[in-house]
């Protein structure tokens, strides 16, 4: 092996080691709901996530045998979940709660396309501010800073409850489900999607999988993941649920989102470069977690759970 090649490999290994060290130092461990709020405030204020992912901070839905753009897939996801959950059976003017609304992308579709009167809540003040900035005055959406584990609404206040990829940030899954179902009127529709682990009691993780799960928890402020079956049981056994809960795993439809989220930076380099050098560093910093997510979902360690039930 030539001296040049040996030196090059050594340099790459050193840089990779330093990168891993820095990556570990800058973890975003879940400590409390405050750490979730701080993380999303930061992601919103630096505008990097919005520049790359658009108005929807969730995965997309990729129909089989159809080429679809990363951002189009996110819009497609909203329509697919509305249809699958039965939320589209609600008449125009129905009151819908969006739990974990982000910067309001899904809320605006629910309001503009389906005619719902939408209230979006998030624990991040920066997200609420940005959601209001992006929402036209005539759009029937309003946004509030609120903890999903302590909803300040009366029992049965909503005809529909919608939540996408918020539950993974909740340290009490029972209370998360209870608050949503409490505010859902009898006969109303719950539409929910979330990141779940496989059943780790039935299929214990290997040492490698334990390491990967730890990284996925610590990098994006997640207290814990639970299985699709475990969360469906929480919904079934809740006193405000009809007990008729249907669930599915949408890994097949959503998995392309992970690599597409990286490609988006290549397709739209100015979205990053226009924000300055720090934005480039921040975007590169997220790539290992995205790749781990992609691996975990493809291998079945993680599952994309969707749930529907009636109040």
pLDDT at 3: 54
CA distance 145 to 101: 10
State the residue range of the domain holding 42: 26-310
**Residues belonging to the chain:** 311
pLDDT at 19: 53
Domain membership flag for residue 303: yes
Q: What is the CA radius of gyration of the chain?
A: 20
CA distance 213 to 197: 9
CATH of the domain at 215: 3.40.50.150
pTM: 0.91
pLDDT tens digits, 58-78: 999 999 988 999 999 999 999
Task: Give just the sign of the alpha carbon dihedral 125, 126, 129, 135.
Answer: negative
Number of domains in the chain: 1
pLDDT at 65: 86
pLDDT tens digits, 126-163: 999 999 999 999 999 999 999 999 999 999 999 999 99
Domain membership flag for residue 15: no
What proportion of the chain, given as a percentage, has pLDDT over 90?
Answer: 78
pLDDT at 272: 83
- Which residues of the chain carry a pLDDT beneath 50? 1, 12, 15, 17, 21, 25
Domain membership flag for residue 5: no
Residue 163: which of 124, 122, 115 has the closest Cα? 122
The sheet that has 117-122: what strands, in order across it? 141-145, 117-122, 95-99, 158-164, 184-197, 302-310, 246-249
What count of Cα atoms within 13 Å lies in the side-chain half-sphere of residue 117?
A: 7
Domain membership flag for residue 236: yes
- In order of 12, 17, 30, 103, the CA distances from 8 in angstroms are 6, 14, 38, 44
CB distance 229 to 199 below 8 Å? yes
* Structural tokens at position 250: 């949408």
Domain membership flag for residue 180: yes
pLDDT at 1: 47
CA distance 185 to 294: 37
CA distance 234 to 247: 12
Domain membership flag for residue 212: yes
Terminal Cα-to-Cα distance of the chain (whole angstroms): 68
Domain membership flag for residue 11: no
3-state secondary structure 286-305: HHHHHHHHHHHHHHCCEEEE
* Structural tokens at position 264: 């988006």
Domain membership flag for residue 216: yes
């Amino acid at each position: 092996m030539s001296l040049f090649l040996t030196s090059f490999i050594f340099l790459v290994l050193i840089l990779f080691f330093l990168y891993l060290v820095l990556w570990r130092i800058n973890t975003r461990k879940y400590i409390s709901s405050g750490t979730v709020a701080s993380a999303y405030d930061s992601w919103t204020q630096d505008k990097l996530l919005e520049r790359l992912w658009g108005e929807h901070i969730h995965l997309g839905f990729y129909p089989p045998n159809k080429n679809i753009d990363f951002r189009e897939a996110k819009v497609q996801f909203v329509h697919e979940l509305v249809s699958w959950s039965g939320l589209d059976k609600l008449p125009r003017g129905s009151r819908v709660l969006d739990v974990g609304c982000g910067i309001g992308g899904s809320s605006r579709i629910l309001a503009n396309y389906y005619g719902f009167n939408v209230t979006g809540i998030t624990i991040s003040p920066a997200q609420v501010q940005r959601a209001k900035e992006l929402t036209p005055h005539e759009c029937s959406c309003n946004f509030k800073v609120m903890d999903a584990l302590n909803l300040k609404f009366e029992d049965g206040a909503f005809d529909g409850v919608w939540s996408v990829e918020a539950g993974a940030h909740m340290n009490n899954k029972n209370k998360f489900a209870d608050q949503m179902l409490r505010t859902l009127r009898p006969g109303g529709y719950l539409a929910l999607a979330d990141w779940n682990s496989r059943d780790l009691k039935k299929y214990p993780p290997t040492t490698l999988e334990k390491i990967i799960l730890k990284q996925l928890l610590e990098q994006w402020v997640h207290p814990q993941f639970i299985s699709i079956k475990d969360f469906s049981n929480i919904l079934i056994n809740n006193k405000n649920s009809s007990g008729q809960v249907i669930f599915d795993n949408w890994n097949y439809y959503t998995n392309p989102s992970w690599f597409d989220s990286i490609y988006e930076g290549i397709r739209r380099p100015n979205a990053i470069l226009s924000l300055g050098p720090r934005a480039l560093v921040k975007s590169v910093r997220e790539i290992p977690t995205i790749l781990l997510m992609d691996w975990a979902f493809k291998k079945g360690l993680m599952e994309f759970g969707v749930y529907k039930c009636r109040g």
